[in-house]
Amino acid sequence: MKKAGMIRAILIGMALAFSVQAQDKKEEKKAPSAAQKAQQERMADCNKQASAKGMKGDARKDFMSGCLKDKPQDRMAKCNKEATGKKGDDRKKFMSECLKA
């Protein structure tokens, strides 16, 4: 009988340990990537603009949709600005990666 009780206690302890370990993993949050951070900043900026204009409903949705889209001209301008000082193959590689992101 003592062995059965001991085994039961060990199994319960193991179950609790696994439960705590699983909960710890759930609580660990990954840090947002650079692209996610940029999107979050863009979202916050667009929200501020929409609020400043007093937009609501469909007008706000349309504005937010357009504001959040990364227009090719804007992306090219941003990448060109960031590539200042880079030359040759380094610049080409940077621009390629920047425009893909």
- Profile the chain (101 residues) by mean pLDDT over runs of 10 residues: 69 70 64 81 89 92 84 81 92 88 65
How far is it, in rounded angstroms, from Cα 64 to Cα 2?
A: 67
CB 26 within 8 A of CB 92: no
How far is it, in rounded angstroms, from Cα 98 to Cα 86?
A: 13
In this prediction, residue 98 carries a pLDDT of: 86
Q: Is 71 left (phi over 0), alpha (psi -120 to 50) or beta?
A: beta
Taking the domains of the chain in order of start, what are their residue ranges? Answer: 70-101
In this prediction, residue 25 carries a pLDDT of: 61
How far is it, in rounded angstroms, from Cα 73 to Cα 50?
A: 22
pTM for the full predicted model: 0.45
In this prediction, residue 88 carries a pLDDT of: 94
